[in-house]
Amino acid sequence: MLSKEEVKNIALLARIGIREDEVEKYQKDLSAVLDFFRELETVATDDVEPIGHITGRVGVARTDQAEDFESEGQAEIIKNVPEMKDGFVKVKSVF
């Protein structure tokens, strides 16, 4: 079981403020979590094939190719712009 000082140190590292009356509760809870992980370490996984994902899908992202945005995309944006100046979108000053 974790000591009360270990619990306080964990709370300090995690930047979680705990009251003195909560230390014993967290001592039991954190110890139970660590016991569970110790139990998981005993599970036999020698014959289990490691997996990174369960779907089997690989490389589902589209290819990174430039697309012609001049005609349709530009016209779509321009019709939603409140103000243009010399072919550029005019925006309010940032500074």
Retrieve residue 21's tokens.
Answer: 């009356």
User: Residue 3 — very low, low, confident or very high, per pLDDT cuts 50/70/90?
Assistant: very high
Cα–Cα distances in Å, from 9 out to 6, 32, 41, 95?
5, 17, 25, 46
Report the predicted TM-score, pTM, of the whole model to 2 decimal places.
0.49
Angstrom distance (rounded) from CA 6 to CA 23: 10
Residue 22 pLDDT: 96
Residue 4 has pLDDT above 80, yes or no: yes
Which residues have C-beta within 8 Å of that of residue 23, sequence separation ≥ 6?
4, 7, 8
Residue 1 has pLDDT above 80, yes or no: yes
Tally of CB atoms within 10 A around 4: 13
Segment 20-76, tens digit of pLDDT: 999 999 999 999 999 999 999 999 998 988 877 777 777 778 888 887 777 677 788
Cα–Cα distances in Å, from 63 out to 59, 60, 66, 69, 71?
9, 9, 9, 17, 22
